[in-house]
Amino acid sequence: MTSLRDSLAFSDAPARHPGRHEVVDAVLARGDERIPVVVKKVPLDLLQRLTTPKALRSFTTARALLVRGLATPEPLAAEVVGNESWYVARRLEGASQIRAWFLRRDDPRRPDPPLPFSFEQIVEALGAFARRMHDAGVFFRDFTDGNILVTGEEGAPRLWLVDLNRAWVGSARVPRLSRYRDLARPGLNRPEDIKFFVSSYFRPDPAPDLAVLAVRALRRRIVIWDDFKAFARPWRRR
């Protein structure tokens, strides 16, 4: 039986995607088919050795998301390879991190995002997507702008979830506090932007004032904690 390592072909200098772990482009051989993929390699720590490796959790979660109608790149394989777990998903061509719009919002000197959508279009799409995700029983737990990709379809943004290993997928609707915790994760820091995002989430109903205040408070806490981690662990990529 062919191992996952033997089924993958990497270039001498494979394209690397942003992230704390190694995420690189490759080609997966399946019979006569050659599939462009992205491979995420996560070192195995003691906890993963005793429970379930992150790659296997990502694979299971991806399949559960697709069953619920939530977009994520097609999961193709997951396997422990040496001292790492590898997760392989079909490469999503022409995708950009949602982060590009948020960084441009905070600093207009940055280049325009690579897809022709306005900041408002992206935030509206994100709010609607988050609501569908939660109503489908998914508490993502790492709903950051680095884990949400954007592609363009028929003039509208389509959002995709990646980096899935922390997500919780259940049969019940996600509790209110967990929803607010997810909503506080994307990199929206201006009060007016957070309010617009939360309003998009609750649309067509009006957003409760308490929800807006809760998301703002949780966002401030996340920013403070992230700044502390960056100071305490400068060697880790954010």
What tens digit of pLDDT does each residue of 67-124 get? 999 999 999 999 999 899 999 999 999 999 999 999 999 999 999 999 999 999 999 9
CB atoms inside a 10 Å sphere around CB 135: 12
User: CA-to-CA distance for 198 and 175, rounded, in angstroms?
Assistant: 16
Q: Which helix (H) or strand (E) holds 128?
A: helix 119-135
- Cα–Cα separations (whole angstroms), residue 170 to 49, 57, 65, 137: 24, 14, 11, 5
Chosen domain end from 90, 113, 140? 90
Mean pLDDT of the chain: 91
In this structure, the answer to whether residues 68 and 153 fall within a common structural domain is no
Q: What radius of gyration do the chain's Cα atoms show?
A: 18
Q: The domain that contains 157 carries what CATH number?
A: 1.10.510
Beta-carbon contacts of residue 99 (< 8 Å; ≥ 6 apart): 145, 146, 187
Closest listed residue to residue 207, CA positions, set 195, 189, 220: 195
Is 145 found in the same domain as 29?
A: no
Does residue 177 sit within a domain? yes
pLDDT tens string 156-181: 999 999 999 999 999 888 999 999 99
User: Percentage of the chain with pLDDT > 70?
Assistant: 97
Per-residue pLDDT for 42 more than 60?
yes
**Does residue 218 share a domain with residue 103?**
yes
Question: In this structure, are 172 and 191 located in the same domain?
Answer: yes
- Reported as a pLDDT band with limits 50, 70 and 90, residue 17 is confident
Answer for the pair 127, 199: CB distance below 8 angstroms, yes or no: yes
How far is it, in rounded angstroms, from Cα 169 to Cα 66? 12
Least reliable range by pLDDT among 33-47, 115-129, 131-145: 33-47
Residue 19 pLDDT grade (very low, low, confident, very high; cuts 50, 70, 90) = low
Q: What letter would DSSP give residue 15? A: -
98 contacts 126 by C-beta, under 8 angstroms:
yes
* Best CA proximity match to 55, nearest among 40, 74, 76, 68: 40
Same domain? 213 vs 128: yes
Q: Is the pLDDT of residue 13 over 80?
A: no
Contact between residue 205 and residue 97 where contact means Cβ atoms under 8 Å apart: no
Distance of CA 14 to the CA centre of its chain: 21
In a domain, 78, yes or no: yes
Taking the C-alpha atoms of residue 198 and residue 185, their distance in angstroms, rounded to an integer, is 12
Domain count, the chain: 2
Distance CA(184)–CA(197), nearest Å, equals 10
Q: What is the pTM (predicted TM-score) of this model? A: 0.91
Question: Does residue 143 sit in the same domain as residue 222?
Answer: yes
179 shares a domain with 152: yes
Q: In the predicted model, is pLDDT for residue 36 greater than 70? A: yes
Residue 26 CB neighbours (<10 A): 19
Please check whether residues 135 and 171 belong to one and the same domain.
yes
- Are 109 and 93 in contact by the 8 Å Cβ rule? The answer is no
Query: For residue 237, is it within any domain?
Result: no
* Residue 191 within any structural domain of the chain: yes
The verdict on whether omega for the bond into residue 116 sits within 30 degrees of 0, i.e. cis, is no
The CATH number linked to 30 is: 3.30.200.20
Is 108 found in the same domain as 53?
no
Q: Is 163 found in the same domain as 83? A: no
**Containing structural domain, residue 35:** 4-90
The pLDDT of residue 237 is 54
133 and 168 share one domain:
yes
Q: Looking at the domain assignment, is residue 117 inside a domain?
A: yes
pLDDT value of position 173? 85
Q: Does residue 141 surpass a pLDDT of 80? A: yes
| H or E element, residue 30 | strand 22-30
Which residue among 62, 90, 118 closes a domain? 90
